[in-house]
Amino acid sequence: MKKAYIFTFLLSASLLTACGNSAVEAKVTALPASINEATNEPQATPIPSPEVTIAPSEIPVQDNAEHTDEVIVDAEIDTSVFAFAQSVDITDARDTNKHIDLVVNMSEELTPALATQHVFLQTYDFLQQKDIEGADTITIGVMNGKFRVTQITVDCKKFVAGENLLTSVMAASKIDKMDDVVVQFGKETGFW
């Protein structure tokens, strides 16, 4: 067995030294061109790649030349009032149906009830800003981790800023969806 290893080692060493020898290189370059091409450059067959179609972005384009009575809406809506949110996703459809859709993404560390309470309290300030002018309704969804725990739709014409923040928001709102835990919390606290 040892002899086989020694033989393999000696054979490998002799091949390596032979490859470094210029006489061997001269012999390889002296071979016919068809052999050199076959040994030096591997032939690659092209692999067809699948066609990828990218859909154009769905950004609404306003044509002000045809519609002079159309309300031009500022695309920037300030969501900084949602201080406890990880992120806020906005769909601004004021130009087509006078509606704004918000998805407020809250941390999973908060309970669904506390996340909802934070969002509803901060909605009070959100509804008073000039950035949302032109919207008749605003849907606000509260995400707690990967789950939508609450969703309300606020009628902006019914909203009146009062002393009690939650009462003001809820008086102008319709509850679209609410987890049982959040409903129970609202009943126990009298918030909704």
The pLDDT tens digits for 13-72 are 554 555 554 444 444 444 445 444 444 555 555 544 444 444 444 444 444 444 334 444
Q: Which amino acid is at 79?
A: T
Q: Is residue 120, in this structure, part of any structural domain at all?
A: yes
CA–CA dist 155, 66 (Å, integer):
30
Q: Is residue 126, in this structure, part of any structural domain at all?
A: yes
Residue 76: which pLDDT band, with cuts at 50, 70 and 90? confident
**Domain span including residue 96:** 87-189
Strands 137-144, 147-155: pairing kind: antiparallel
Q: Is residue 140, in this structure, part of any structural domain at all?
A: yes
Q: Same domain, yes or no, for 32 and 93?
A: no
Q: 153: Cβ–Cβ under 8 A, 6 or more apart, which residues?
A: 137, 138, 139, 140, 173, 174, 176
Q: Is residue 104, in this structure, part of any structural domain at all?
A: yes
Neighbours of 177 (CB within 10 A): 12
What's the average model confidence in pLDDT over 105-134?
A: 95
**Reported pTM:** 0.60
